[in-house]
Amino acid sequence: MKASFEEKTLVIDGRRISMPYPIDDILALSDRVIVLLDFESVPNEDPLHGRNVLAFDQSGGLLWRIAQSTVRSWDDGDPDWRSPYSGMGFAEDGRTIHVYEWAGVRHDLDPETGQISNGLLTK
């Protein structure tokens, strides 16, 4: 599978899929593409805030939206504000996918389900 992106458009095998916000990064796997939306573009009140990592199948269908982190952080005085994801990539083993929160926590990401585990404070 070949995948790329430009601004708000994900391209999977020539098929263009429009995203609501700019794309920051993608990881193309054999049967899906994991997309990190630019967290600074997603308003706090949008349901994608704090869940700005998505997975799409080869046809462009949404498979999952990442699980919301349990890390709470204060932003603009809102105690329920959740830290958005600001980065992702493969671990040194080349198989494990890490996602990074703005608040400084790294998680392992299950690419099949979008669930996170093994939170580790990195800041």
Identify whether the C-beta of residue 44 lies closer than 8 Å to the C-beta of residue 78: yes
pLDDT computed for residue 26 by the predictor: 98
Q: How many folded domains does the chain comprise?
A: 1
Domain housing 84:
3-121
Report the predicted TM-score, pTM, of the whole model to 2 decimal places.
0.91
| pLDDT tens by residue, 18-47 | 999 999 999 999 999 999 999 999 988 888
pLDDT computed for residue 39 by the predictor: 93
Identify whether the C-beta of residue 40 lies closer than 8 Å to the C-beta of residue 53: no
pLDDT computed for residue 42 by the predictor: 92
Separation CA 106–CA 108 (nearest Å): 7
| pLDDT tens by residue, 55-114 | 999 999 999 999 887 766 655 566 667 789 999 999 999 889 999 998 888 999 999 999
Backbone angles phi, psi at 40, to 5 degrees: -70, -15
**CATH classification of the domain holding 68:** 2.130.10.10
